[in-house]
Chain A
Protein backbone atom coordinates (compact mmCIF):
# COMPACT_ATOMS: atom_id res chain seq x y z
CA UNK A 1 0.00 0.00 0.00
CA UNK A 2 1.41 3.37 -0.98
CA UNK A 3 1.29 6.32 1.39
CA UNK A 4 -1.24 7.97 -0.87
CA UNK A 5 -3.51 4.93 -0.69
CA UNK A 6 -3.16 4.83 3.08
CA UNK A 7 -4.16 8.48 3.35
CA UNK A 8 -7.15 7.86 1.15
CA UNK A 9 -8.36 5.07 3.42
CA UNK A 10 -7.55 6.88 6.65
CA UNK A 11 -9.61 9.85 5.49
CA UNK A 12 -12.66 7.74 6.35
CA UNK A 13 -11.42 6.93 9.86
CA UNK A 14 -13.69 8.65 12.35
CA UNK A 15 -11.88 10.92 14.80
CA UNK A 16 -13.58 9.33 17.82
CA UNK A 17 -11.79 6.05 17.09
CA UNK A 18 -14.97 4.09 16.48
CA UNK A 19 -13.39 2.50 13.42
CA UNK A 20 -10.36 1.11 15.24
CA UNK A 21 -11.86 -2.37 15.23
CA UNK A 22 -12.79 -2.25 11.55
CA UNK A 23 -10.38 -4.59 9.71
CA UNK A 24 -10.62 -2.41 6.60
CA UNK A 25 -8.38 0.12 8.34
CA UNK A 26 -5.89 -2.34 9.84
CA UNK A 27 -3.27 -2.19 7.11
CA UNK A 28 -3.40 1.58 6.76
CA UNK A 29 -3.19 2.03 10.54
CA UNK A 30 -0.23 -0.31 10.73
CA UNK A 31 1.50 1.66 8.02
CA UNK A 32 0.83 4.92 9.87
CA UNK A 33 2.52 3.51 12.94
CA UNK A 34 5.69 2.72 11.01
CA UNK A 35 5.82 5.70 8.66
CA UNK A 36 6.60 8.94 10.58
CA UNK A 37 5.42 11.19 7.78
CA UNK A 38 2.14 9.34 7.41
CA UNK A 39 1.72 9.25 11.20
CA UNK A 40 2.18 13.03 11.46
CA UNK A 41 -0.34 13.57 8.69
CA UNK A 42 -2.82 11.20 10.33
CA UNK A 43 -2.49 12.94 13.71
CA UNK A 44 -3.09 16.32 12.11
CA UNK A 45 -6.00 14.97 10.14
CA UNK A 46 -7.65 13.43 13.19
CA UNK A 47 -7.16 16.59 15.23
CA UNK A 48 -8.75 18.64 12.46
CA UNK A 49 -11.65 16.22 12.07
CA UNK A 50 -12.20 16.01 15.82
CA UNK A 51 -12.46 19.78 16.07
CA UNK A 52 -15.01 20.04 13.31
CA UNK A 53 -17.02 17.12 14.69
CA UNK A 54 -17.15 18.69 18.13
CA UNK A 55 -18.24 22.03 16.67
CA UNK A 56 -21.05 20.42 14.70
CA UNK A 57 -22.21 18.60 17.81
CA UNK A 58 -22.77 21.99 19.44
CA UNK A 59 -25.51 22.88 16.96
CA UNK A 60 -28.85 22.27 18.62
CA UNK A 61 -32.15 21.67 16.87
CA UNK A 62 -34.57 24.57 17.27
CA UNK A 63 -36.75 24.45 20.38
CA UNK A 64 -40.07 22.88 19.53
CA UNK A 65 -38.83 20.61 16.76
CA UNK A 66 -39.16 17.47 18.87
CA UNK A 67 -42.72 18.39 19.85
CA UNK A 68 -43.57 19.17 16.22
CA UNK A 69 -42.34 15.74 15.14
CA UNK A 70 -44.42 14.00 17.78
CA UNK A 71 -47.47 16.09 16.87
CA UNK A 72 -47.11 15.25 13.18
CA UNK A 73 -46.92 11.56 13.97
CA UNK A 74 -50.08 11.71 16.04
CA UNK A 75 -51.99 13.22 13.16
CA UNK A 76 -50.84 10.38 10.91
CA UNK A 77 -52.04 7.55 13.10
CA UNK A 78 -55.17 5.76 11.90
CA UNK A 79 -58.23 6.48 14.03
CA UNK A 80 -59.92 3.76 16.07
CA UNK A 81 -62.83 1.91 14.44
CA UNK A 82 -65.69 4.36 13.86
CA UNK A 83 -68.29 2.16 15.53
CA UNK A 84 -66.38 2.33 18.78
CA UNK A 85 -65.95 6.07 18.45
CA UNK A 86 -69.55 6.85 17.71
CA UNK A 87 -70.85 5.06 20.79
CA UNK A 88 -68.78 6.97 23.25
CA UNK A 89 -67.07 9.79 21.46
CA UNK A 90 -68.38 12.00 18.66
CA UNK A 91 -66.23 12.01 15.54
CA UNK A 92 -65.81 15.74 15.57
CA UNK A 93 -64.47 15.52 19.08
CA UNK A 94 -61.90 12.98 17.93
CA UNK A 95 -60.74 15.36 15.24
CA UNK A 96 -60.64 18.20 17.70
CA UNK A 97 -58.72 16.09 20.18
CA UNK A 98 -56.17 15.02 17.58
CA UNK A 99 -55.75 18.58 16.40
CA UNK A 100 -55.78 19.96 19.92
CA UNK A 101 -53.14 17.55 21.05
CA UNK A 102 -50.97 18.53 18.15
CA UNK A 103 -51.50 22.19 18.86
CA UNK A 104 -50.80 21.87 22.53
CA UNK A 105 -47.29 20.68 21.89
CA UNK A 106 -46.79 22.73 18.78
CA UNK A 107 -47.63 26.02 20.38
CA UNK A 108 -44.25 26.20 22.03
CA UNK A 109 -41.17 27.52 20.35
CA UNK A 110 -40.19 29.21 17.12
CA UNK A 111 -41.74 26.53 14.96
CA UNK A 112 -45.02 28.23 15.71
CA UNK A 113 -44.15 31.00 13.28
CA UNK A 114 -43.05 28.49 10.70
CA UNK A 115 -46.28 26.53 10.76
CA UNK A 116 -46.72 22.85 9.96
CA UNK A 117 -44.65 21.40 7.15
CA UNK A 118 -46.58 20.79 3.91
CA UNK A 119 -46.56 17.06 4.56
CA UNK A 120 -48.03 17.47 8.04
CA UNK A 121 -50.62 19.97 6.79
CA UNK A 122 -51.58 17.49 4.05
CA UNK A 123 -52.02 14.75 6.63
CA UNK A 124 -54.23 17.01 8.70
CA UNK A 125 -56.37 17.92 5.66
CA UNK A 126 -56.75 14.25 4.75
CA UNK A 127 -57.65 13.35 8.31
CA UNK A 128 -60.27 16.08 8.54
CA UNK A 129 -61.67 15.31 5.08
CA UNK A 130 -62.18 11.71 6.14
CA UNK A 131 -63.31 12.10 9.74
CA UNK A 132 -64.43 15.71 10.20
CA UNK A 133 -67.93 17.12 10.33
CA UNK A 134 -68.12 19.38 7.33
CA UNK A 135 -70.46 22.24 6.68
CA UNK A 136 -70.27 25.95 7.25
CA UNK A 137 -72.81 28.69 6.95
CA UNK A 138 -73.18 32.25 5.83
CA UNK A 139 -73.50 34.09 2.57
CA UNK A 140 -69.78 34.78 2.36
CA UNK A 141 -69.01 31.07 2.57
CA UNK A 142 -71.55 30.33 -0.13
CA UNK A 143 -70.08 32.97 -2.41
CA UNK A 144 -66.61 31.60 -1.86
CA UNK A 145 -67.68 28.02 -2.59
CA UNK A 146 -69.49 29.14 -5.73
CA UNK A 147 -66.43 31.01 -6.94
CA UNK A 148 -64.23 28.00 -6.34
CA UNK A 149 -66.69 25.72 -8.12
CA UNK A 150 -67.19 27.81 -11.21
CA UNK A 151 -63.80 29.33 -11.63
CA UNK A 152 -61.89 28.26 -14.71
CA UNK A 153 -58.72 29.69 -13.30
CA UNK A 154 -56.21 27.49 -11.48
CA UNK A 155 -57.18 26.97 -7.87
CA UNK A 156 -53.95 28.53 -6.68
CA UNK A 157 -55.20 31.82 -8.16
CA UNK A 158 -58.86 31.45 -7.15
CA UNK A 159 -58.45 30.37 -3.54
CA UNK A 160 -57.76 33.78 -2.04
CA UNK A 161 -60.33 34.80 0.54
CA UNK A 162 -61.20 37.47 3.10
CA UNK A 163 -60.31 35.33 6.11
CA UNK A 164 -61.88 37.53 8.79
CA UNK A 165 -65.13 38.09 6.92
CA UNK A 166 -65.53 34.39 6.23
CA UNK A 167 -64.76 33.43 9.79
CA UNK A 168 -67.22 35.95 11.21
CA UNK A 169 -69.98 34.95 8.82
CA UNK A 170 -69.96 31.29 9.88
CA UNK A 171 -67.42 29.57 7.67
CA UNK A 172 -66.25 26.35 9.30
CA UNK A 173 -63.22 27.18 11.40
CA UNK A 174 -60.75 24.64 12.78
CA UNK A 175 -57.69 25.04 14.92
CA UNK A 176 -54.41 23.41 14.08
CA UNK A 177 -50.75 24.10 14.82
CA UNK A 178 -51.66 27.14 16.86
CA UNK A 179 -53.77 28.79 14.19
CA UNK A 180 -57.34 29.12 13.04
CA UNK A 181 -57.94 27.74 9.61
CA UNK A 182 -60.97 27.86 7.37
CA UNK A 183 -62.47 24.93 5.53
CA UNK A 184 -64.93 25.08 2.68
CA UNK A 185 -66.33 22.31 0.50
CA UNK A 186 -66.90 22.84 -3.20
CA UNK A 187 -67.66 20.74 -6.25
CA UNK A 188 -65.96 21.06 -9.61
CA UNK A 189 -66.99 18.93 -12.53
CA UNK A 190 -68.78 16.52 -10.26
CA UNK A 191 -65.89 16.01 -7.85
CA UNK A 192 -66.05 17.20 -4.26
CA UNK A 193 -63.07 19.00 -2.77
CA UNK A 194 -62.22 20.42 0.64
CA UNK A 195 -60.15 23.57 0.76
CA UNK A 196 -58.24 24.51 3.93
CA UNK A 197 -56.74 27.96 4.43
CA UNK A 198 -54.24 28.76 7.16
CA UNK A 199 -52.68 32.17 7.54
CA UNK A 200 -49.67 33.50 9.41
CA UNK A 201 -47.09 30.95 8.28
CA UNK A 202 -43.62 31.60 6.95
CA UNK A 203 -42.93 30.04 3.59
CA UNK A 204 -39.65 28.13 3.25
CA UNK A 205 -36.87 30.33 1.99
CA UNK A 206 -35.43 27.58 -0.12
CA UNK A 207 -38.55 27.00 -2.13
CA UNK A 208 -40.15 30.40 -2.08
CA UNK A 209 -40.64 32.03 -5.46
CA UNK A 210 -42.00 35.39 -6.41
CA UNK A 211 -43.98 37.09 -3.63
CA UNK A 212 -43.20 34.21 -1.31
CA UNK A 213 -45.23 31.77 -3.38
CA UNK A 214 -44.61 28.07 -2.93
CA UNK A 215 -45.93 25.93 -5.78
CA UNK A 216 -48.29 23.06 -5.05
CA UNK A 217 -46.86 19.84 -3.68
CA UNK A 218 -49.00 16.74 -4.09
CA UNK A 219 -49.48 14.01 -1.52
CA UNK A 220 -51.17 10.64 -1.85
CA UNK A 221 -52.91 10.07 1.47
CA UNK A 222 -54.89 7.20 2.97
CA UNK A 223 -58.20 9.00 2.35
CA UNK A 224 -57.42 10.37 -1.11
CA UNK A 225 -55.05 13.06 -2.30
CA UNK A 226 -54.01 16.50 -1.11
CA UNK A 227 -52.18 19.45 -2.64
CA UNK A 228 -50.48 22.03 -0.41
CA UNK A 229 -49.20 25.42 -1.52
CA UNK A 230 -48.49 28.84 -0.09
CA UNK A 231 -48.89 32.42 -1.15
CA UNK A 232 -47.07 34.82 1.12
CA UNK A 233 -48.03 33.97 4.68
CA UNK A 234 -51.13 31.97 3.71
CA UNK A 235 -50.92 28.20 3.33
CA UNK A 236 -53.56 26.25 1.43
CA UNK A 237 -54.46 22.59 1.22
CA UNK A 238 -57.07 21.07 -1.05
CA UNK A 239 -58.14 17.48 -0.47
CA UNK A 240 -60.31 15.08 -2.41
CA UNK A 241 -61.22 11.42 -2.20
CA UNK A 242 -61.13 11.28 -5.99
CA UNK A 243 -57.35 10.90 -6.10
CA UNK A 244 -54.26 12.66 -7.35
CA UNK A 245 -55.40 13.17 -10.94
CA UNK A 246 -58.45 15.15 -9.81
CA UNK A 247 -56.44 17.25 -7.42
CA UNK A 248 -53.79 17.95 -10.03
CA UNK A 249 -56.47 19.05 -12.49
CA UNK A 250 -57.27 22.01 -10.27
CA UNK A 251 -53.94 23.67 -11.02
Chain B
Protein backbone atom coordinates (compact mmCIF):
# COMPACT_ATOMS: atom_id res chain seq x y z
CA UNK B 1 0.00 0.00 0.00
CA UNK B 2 1.42 3.39 -0.95
CA UNK B 3 1.99 6.10 1.61
CA UNK B 4 -0.81 8.13 0.11
CA UNK B 5 -3.28 5.24 0.27
CA UNK B 6 -2.27 4.57 3.84
CA UNK B 7 -2.82 8.22 4.76
CA UNK B 8 -6.28 8.03 3.18
CA UNK B 9 -7.06 4.97 5.25
CA UNK B 10 -5.94 6.84 8.36
CA UNK B 11 -8.02 9.89 7.52
CA UNK B 12 -11.10 7.80 6.83
CA UNK B 13 -11.22 5.93 10.11
CA UNK B 14 -8.85 7.16 12.79
CA UNK B 15 -11.33 9.51 14.46
CA UNK B 16 -14.00 6.82 14.78
CA UNK B 17 -11.38 4.32 15.93
CA UNK B 18 -10.24 6.79 18.57
CA UNK B 19 -13.79 7.24 19.90
CA UNK B 20 -14.22 3.49 20.01
CA UNK B 21 -10.87 3.09 21.80
CA UNK B 22 -11.71 5.86 24.26
CA UNK B 23 -14.94 4.14 25.14
CA UNK B 24 -13.15 0.84 25.71
CA UNK B 25 -10.01 1.99 27.49
CA UNK B 26 -11.63 4.86 29.42
CA UNK B 27 -8.59 7.10 29.12
CA UNK B 28 -7.17 9.19 26.33
CA UNK B 29 -3.51 8.04 26.39
CA UNK B 30 -4.42 4.36 26.16
CA UNK B 31 -6.96 5.15 23.45
CA UNK B 32 -4.25 6.90 21.43
CA UNK B 33 -1.97 3.89 21.90
CA UNK B 34 -4.65 1.51 20.72
CA UNK B 35 -5.28 3.48 17.55
CA UNK B 36 -1.55 3.76 16.85
CA UNK B 37 -1.10 0.05 17.36
CA UNK B 38 -4.03 -0.80 15.13
CA UNK B 39 -2.62 1.15 12.21
CA UNK B 40 0.84 -0.12 12.94
CA UNK B 41 -0.45 -3.69 12.61
CA UNK B 42 -2.15 -2.70 9.40
CA UNK B 43 1.12 -1.27 8.08
CA UNK B 44 2.91 -4.53 8.81
CA UNK B 45 0.18 -7.09 8.05
CA UNK B 46 -2.94 -5.44 6.75
CA UNK B 47 -1.70 -5.12 3.19
CA UNK B 48 -2.31 -8.87 2.92
CA UNK B 49 -6.05 -8.17 3.07
CA UNK B 50 -7.23 -8.68 -0.49
CA UNK B 51 -10.65 -7.07 -0.20
CA UNK B 52 -10.06 -3.35 0.39
CA UNK B 53 -13.74 -2.98 1.22
CA UNK B 54 -13.16 -4.91 4.41
CA UNK B 55 -10.47 -2.58 5.69
CA UNK B 56 -12.83 -0.76 8.06
CA UNK B 57 -14.08 -3.96 9.70
CA UNK B 58 -10.50 -5.23 9.87
CA UNK B 59 -9.35 -2.08 11.69
CA UNK B 60 -12.15 -2.18 14.26
CA UNK B 61 -11.68 -5.90 14.82
CA UNK B 62 -7.96 -5.44 15.28
CA UNK B 63 -8.39 -2.58 17.71
CA UNK B 64 -10.87 -4.59 19.74
CA UNK B 65 -8.53 -7.60 19.79
CA UNK B 66 -5.64 -5.40 20.87
CA UNK B 67 -7.76 -3.98 23.65
CA UNK B 68 -8.77 -7.44 24.85
CA UNK B 69 -5.19 -8.64 24.63
CA UNK B 70 -3.78 -5.74 26.54
CA UNK B 71 -6.17 -5.24 29.36
CA UNK B 72 -6.03 -7.10 32.58
CA UNK B 73 -9.16 -8.87 33.50
CA UNK B 74 -10.43 -7.54 36.79
CA UNK B 75 -13.32 -8.42 39.00
CA UNK B 76 -15.59 -6.28 36.91
CA UNK B 77 -15.20 -8.62 33.99
CA UNK B 78 -17.01 -11.37 35.84
CA UNK B 79 -20.22 -9.43 35.74
CA UNK B 80 -20.14 -8.67 32.05
CA UNK B 81 -22.62 -11.32 31.12
CA UNK B 82 -24.66 -10.99 34.26
CA UNK B 83 -28.17 -11.95 33.15
CA UNK B 84 -29.72 -10.06 36.04
CA UNK B 85 -29.08 -6.70 34.37
CA UNK B 86 -32.49 -5.14 34.28
CA UNK B 87 -33.84 -3.29 31.27
CA UNK B 88 -35.42 0.00 32.15
CA UNK B 89 -38.17 1.48 30.07
CA UNK B 90 -37.30 4.47 27.90
CA UNK B 91 -39.04 7.48 29.33
CA UNK B 92 -39.62 10.98 28.02
CA UNK B 93 -37.22 12.41 30.58
CA UNK B 94 -34.46 10.22 29.13
CA UNK B 95 -34.75 12.09 25.85
CA UNK B 96 -34.81 15.44 27.67
CA UNK B 97 -31.72 14.42 29.56
CA UNK B 98 -29.98 13.47 26.33
CA UNK B 99 -30.74 16.89 24.91
CA UNK B 100 -29.05 18.58 27.86
CA UNK B 101 -25.89 16.51 28.02
CA UNK B 102 -22.56 17.41 26.42
CA UNK B 103 -20.00 15.20 24.69
CA UNK B 104 -17.99 14.56 27.84
CA UNK B 105 -21.07 13.50 29.77
CA UNK B 106 -22.11 11.14 26.99
CA UNK B 107 -18.70 9.49 26.81
CA UNK B 108 -18.35 9.29 30.60
CA UNK B 109 -21.72 7.57 30.84
CA UNK B 110 -20.85 5.22 28.02
CA UNK B 111 -17.64 4.29 29.78
CA UNK B 112 -19.63 3.05 32.79
CA UNK B 113 -21.54 0.52 30.71
CA UNK B 114 -20.31 -3.04 31.13
CA UNK B 115 -17.62 -3.86 28.64
CA UNK B 116 -19.51 -6.58 26.78
CA UNK B 117 -22.30 -4.12 26.04
CA UNK B 118 -20.07 -1.07 25.62
CA UNK B 119 -18.20 -2.27 22.54
CA UNK B 120 -21.27 -2.90 20.35
CA UNK B 121 -23.05 0.11 21.79
CA UNK B 122 -20.21 2.46 20.89
CA UNK B 123 -20.01 1.07 17.36
CA UNK B 124 -23.77 1.50 17.06
CA UNK B 125 -23.56 5.16 18.08
CA UNK B 126 -20.65 5.80 15.74
CA UNK B 127 -23.19 4.85 13.06
CA UNK B 128 -20.55 3.66 10.63
CA UNK B 129 -21.56 0.03 10.95
CA UNK B 130 -24.78 -1.92 10.68
CA UNK B 131 -25.46 -4.50 13.33
CA UNK B 132 -24.32 -7.15 10.82
CA UNK B 133 -20.97 -5.37 10.53
CA UNK B 134 -20.73 -4.91 14.29
CA UNK B 135 -21.22 -8.66 14.71
CA UNK B 136 -18.42 -9.27 12.23
CA UNK B 137 -16.08 -6.76 13.81
CA UNK B 138 -16.59 -8.07 17.33
CA UNK B 139 -16.77 -11.69 16.19
CA UNK B 140 -20.06 -12.43 17.94
CA UNK B 141 -23.41 -13.70 16.58
CA UNK B 142 -25.92 -11.17 15.24
CA UNK B 143 -28.46 -12.06 17.93
CA UNK B 144 -25.88 -11.36 20.59
CA UNK B 145 -25.25 -7.90 19.14
CA UNK B 146 -28.96 -7.08 19.27
CA UNK B 147 -29.25 -8.33 22.81
CA UNK B 148 -26.21 -6.38 23.94
CA UNK B 149 -27.43 -3.22 22.25
CA UNK B 150 -30.75 -3.46 24.01
CA UNK B 151 -29.23 -4.09 27.41
CA UNK B 152 -26.41 -1.63 26.87
CA UNK B 153 -28.88 1.14 26.10
CA UNK B 154 -30.70 0.38 29.32
CA UNK B 155 -27.46 0.63 31.28
CA UNK B 156 -26.57 3.86 29.52
CA UNK B 157 -29.90 5.45 30.38
CA UNK B 158 -29.41 4.47 34.00
CA UNK B 159 -25.89 5.91 34.00
CA UNK B 160 -27.05 9.20 32.50
CA UNK B 161 -29.83 9.46 35.06
CA UNK B 162 -27.41 8.79 37.90
CA UNK B 163 -24.95 11.34 36.57
CA UNK B 164 -27.61 14.00 36.45
CA UNK B 165 -28.89 13.06 39.89
CA UNK B 166 -25.46 13.27 41.46
CA UNK B 167 -24.57 16.45 39.57
CA UNK B 168 -21.35 14.80 38.53
CA UNK B 169 -18.95 17.22 36.92
CA UNK B 170 -17.31 15.85 33.85
CA UNK B 171 -14.19 17.29 32.29
CA UNK B 172 -15.24 18.13 28.75
CA UNK B 173 -13.56 16.41 25.87
CA UNK B 174 -12.11 18.50 23.08
CA UNK B 175 -14.67 18.99 20.37
CA UNK B 176 -14.12 18.25 16.75
CA UNK B 177 -14.26 21.89 15.74
CA UNK B 178 -11.63 22.81 18.33
CA UNK B 179 -9.34 19.87 17.72
CA UNK B 180 -9.24 20.33 14.00
CA UNK B 181 -10.34 16.78 13.28
CA UNK B 182 -13.62 15.05 12.89
Is the pair A76, B43 in contact by a Cβ cutoff of 8 Å? yes
Stretch binding the partner chain, chosen from A56-64, A87-95, A158-166, A182-190: A56-64
Residues in A neighbouring B6, C-beta threshold 8 A: 70, 73
Residues in A neighbouring B84, C-beta threshold 8 A: none
**How distant is the Cα of A111 from the Cα of B30 in the complex, in angstroms?**
11
**How distant is the Cα of A205 from the Cα of B175 in the complex, in angstroms?**
23
Partner of B43, one of A7, A73, A117: A73
Partner of B26, one of A57, A116, A117, A206: A206
B45 to A, closest residue via Cβ: A76
Chain A binding surface, main DSSP class: helix
Residues in B neighbouring A73, C-beta threshold 8 A: 6, 39-40, 42-43
Q: Kindly identify, within residues 107 to 164 of chain B, every residue whose CB is under 8 Å from any CB belonging to chain A.
A: 107, 110, 122, 124-127, 130-131, 145-147, 149-150, 153, 156-157
Partner of B103, one of A14, A15, A48, A56: A56
Is the pair A62, B174 in contact by a Cβ cutoff of 8 Å? yes
Interface size class of B (residues with CB under 8 A): 35 or more
Stretch binding the partner chain, chosen from B8-16, B50-58, B75-83: B8-16
Given A44-B92, A60-B180, verify A53-B175 contact (CB < 8 Å): no
Instruction: Name the distance in Å between A227's Cβ and chain B's nearest Cβ.
Output: 15
Is the pair B25, A60 in contact by a Cβ cutoff of 8 Å? no
Instruction: Name the distance in Å between B119's Cβ and chain A's nearest Cβ.
Output: 14
Is the pair A61, B110 in contact by a Cβ cutoff of 8 Å? no
Residues in B neighbouring A12, C-beta threshold 8 A: 124, 131, 145-146, 149
Instruction: Name the distance in Å between B141's Cβ and chain A's nearest Cβ.
Output: 13
Q: Is B61 an interface residue (CB 8 A)?
A: no
Instruction: Name the distance in Å between B108's Cβ and chain A's nearest Cβ.
Output: 11
Q: Is B63 an interface residue (CB 8 A)?
A: no
Instruction: Name the distance in Å between B3's Cβ and chain A's nearest Cβ.
Output: 8
**How distant is the Cα of A16 from the Cα of B41 in the complex, in angstroms?**
31
B125 to A, closest residue via Cβ: A53
Is the pair A59, B30 in contact by a Cβ cutoff of 8 Å? no
Is the pair B14, A61 in contact by a Cβ cutoff of 8 Å? yes
Is the pair A61, B33 in contact by a Cβ cutoff of 8 Å? no
Q: Mark B69-104, 1 if CB is under 8 A from A, else 0.
A: 011100000000000000000101011001101110
Residues in A neighbouring B3, C-beta threshold 8 A: 70, 74
Residues in B neighbouring A44, C-beta threshold 8 A: 90, 92, 94-95
Is the pair A51, B149 in contact by a Cβ cutoff of 8 Å? no
Residues in A neighbouring B177, C-beta threshold 8 A: 58
Given A12-B149, A48-B94, verify A55-B101 contact (CB < 8 Å): yes
Q: Is B19 an interface residue (CB 8 A)?
A: yes
**How distant is the Cα of A203 from the Cα of B87 in the complex, in angstroms?**
38
Residues in B neighbouring A45, C-beta threshold 8 A: 90
B43 to A, closest residue via Cβ: A73
The residue among A60, A74, A111, A206 with the most chain B CB atoms within 10 A of its own CB is A60
Is the pair A56, B19 in contact by a Cβ cutoff of 8 Å? yes
Residues in B neighbouring A117, C-beta threshold 8 A: 32-33, 36-37, 40
**How distant is the Cα of A119 from the Cα of B127 in the complex, in angstroms?**
29
Instruction: Name the distance in Å between B103's Cβ and chain A's nearest Cβ.
Output: 4
**How distant is the Cα of A65 from the Cα of B130 in the complex, in angstroms?**
27
**15 other contacts beyond A55-B107, A56-B19, with CB at 8 A cut-off?**
A14-B124, A49-B124, A51-B98, A53-B126, A55-B106, A56-B103, A57-B176, A59-B22, A60-B15, A66-B11, A73-B40, A77-B43, A204-B30, A205-B27, A206-B26
In the A-B complex, the 8 residue pairs with the smallest Cβ-Cβ separation, listed nearest first, are: A60-B179, A73-B43, A51-B98, A55-B106, A61-B18, A58-B103, A12-B131, A117-B33
Residues of B within 8 A of A (CB): 3, 6-7, 10-11, 14-15, 18-19, 22, 25-30, 32-33, 35-37, 39-44, 70-72, 90, 92, 94-95, 98-99, 101-103, 105-107, 110, 122, 124-127, 130-131, 145-147, 149-150, 153, 156-157, 173-182
